[in-house]
Amino acid sequence: MKRIVLVVCDGHRDDLVQASLCPAICGLGRESIRFGHHRSVYPSTTRVASASIATGCRPARHGLHGNTMGLVSADGVQVHDVGPPGFRAAMRAATGATLRAQTMAERLAAHGGSIVFSNVSPGGAYFQDPDGHGHVYHRAGSYGPGEIAIAGDDALSVSHDGAGDRAMTERFCREVLVERRPALAVLWLCEPDHAMHANILGSPAHHAAIAAADACVARVAETVRALERRGDEILLLVGSDHGQESIETAVPVTERLVAAGLKESLDSPEVAVAPQGSAGLVYLAPRAADRIAAIVDCLRAQDEIAEIHAGAALAEIGMAASGCLAIAFSMAKRDAPNGFGVPGHTHVVADSAKTPRAGIGQHGGLGRYEQSPFLMLRPPGGAAGRVETRATSIIDIAPTALGFLGLPAAGMDGRALPLR
């Protein structure tokens, strides 16, 4: 039976896929097609990327707006963190559903099934399969089809770091790849993203996290090659969901809207700002809908904000004006290298839930580096390594996977990638 194995090294930038930092990933590249112009989605955050990889769709179609997102309530719009396990229930209560596009897990439920092992946030894990069509294993709770909880030693209990990634990978290879053999097996590592959020990009701690992820990829690649020698036909995809940039300053966007008289108070529900790291979303309740032009003007006047998309122009970045979403913006960038020679700086949206430190990594916007994940595709038996130069996106992974399995990929925004 044909199978898909997908490994995501969260946050690993394409320009840091270098033999000195990640020899196993680069070694895999020599027997794979590597995609040289690969992009994330907007916003370039893990939870949205997870939903986009799972569905092959941009947020306009699948409906998950960000790592935080506004949900319409009786008096306006409330911003929710998509990370905690309870968010899906809040999304269902507010919108009647979770994702509005089918996931690979749903499409494969009757065609060999899916198993996801993820060590990112609960939201990042569960939006691979938010309605329980297959298996999702995460430290906050593991579930089988029908959202049946998996208990005891069968649940995934690993630390949220590189050591946890490694323990998860060992079990994934032994149990999922060798024994259970689902049509789709996903391994989503928290590194190097987890370390990049706490360390200067290019620092020894960042490099150690890349090496940790690389060791996990080595283990998976070795397992896939061994299974092939036994006759298995496996398409191995190894990549990331987004990159990162170095933080310059945190900009109090909400405070500035209040100061400009465009929002009643910091927590008033008629205008809501949902921070996405180096990007942000603005929701307008119907009674504040006429403020859209004034708010766009106010955002345009901020030096730290670059691109702004509002109303129908949201479609240009794969977003849609639904659920009171009115405006999406990305913070200004600077290409210069940091002290470790890693290029790309960004301002971020101040977020009461986090205290960003200048120099550490962040992502979420349309910047060159945060929008540069990597992707390599190893067809069964391997290929002559080459670089594909046409523009590709993380939304192309799902149609590629389904096409390889001989299943239709209708209703997706992405396109199937070449397998040779």
Binding site residues, Zn ion, CB under 5 A: 193
Helices (H), ranges, 355-405: 397-404
Rounded distance between C-alpha atoms, residue 273 and residue 346, angstroms: 19
C-beta of 67 vs 114, nearer to Zn ion: 67
CB 397 within 8 A of CB 60: no
Output b/e per residue, 232-258; b: 16+ Cβ within 10 A.
bebbbbbbbbbbbbbbbebbbbbebbb
CB of 194: closest distance to Zn ion in angstroms?
A: 8
C-beta of 193 vs 270, nearer to Zn ion: 193
C-beta of 193 vs 214, nearer to Zn ion: 193
Rounded distance between C-alpha atoms, residue 279 and residue 319, angstroms: 13
C-beta of 193 vs 248, nearer to Zn ion: 193
CB of 67: closest distance to Zn ion in angstroms?
A: 8
Output b/e per residue, 307-324; b: 16+ Cβ within 10 A.
bbbbeeebeebbbebebb
CB of 398: closest distance to Zn ion in angstroms?
A: 21
Rounded distance between C-alpha atoms, residue 25 and residue 218, angstroms: 7
**Residue 305: beta bridge partners?**
331
CB of 241: closest distance to Zn ion in angstroms?
A: 9
C-beta of 277 vs 414, nearer to Zn ion: 277
Report how far apart the first and last C-alpha atoms of the chain are (Å, whole number).
20
**Residue 346: beta bridge partners?**
247, 333
C-beta of 14 vs 193, nearer to Zn ion: 193
CB of 10: closest distance to Zn ion in angstroms?
A: 7
Distances (CA, A) of 193 to 120, 242, 338, 344: 9, 9, 18, 16
Q: Are strands 343-349 and 333-337 parallel, antiparallel or unpaired?
A: antiparallel
C-beta of 296 vs 366, nearer to Zn ion: 366
Residue nearest to Zn ion (CB): 193
CB of 135: closest distance to Zn ion in angstroms?
A: 24
Type of residue found at 362: Q
C-beta of 182 vs 361, nearer to Zn ion: 361
CB of 242: closest distance to Zn ion in angstroms?
A: 7
CB of 346: closest distance to Zn ion in angstroms?
A: 13
Rounded distance between C-alpha atoms, residue 125 and residue 83, angstroms: 9
Residues 6+ apart with CB under 8 A from 74: none
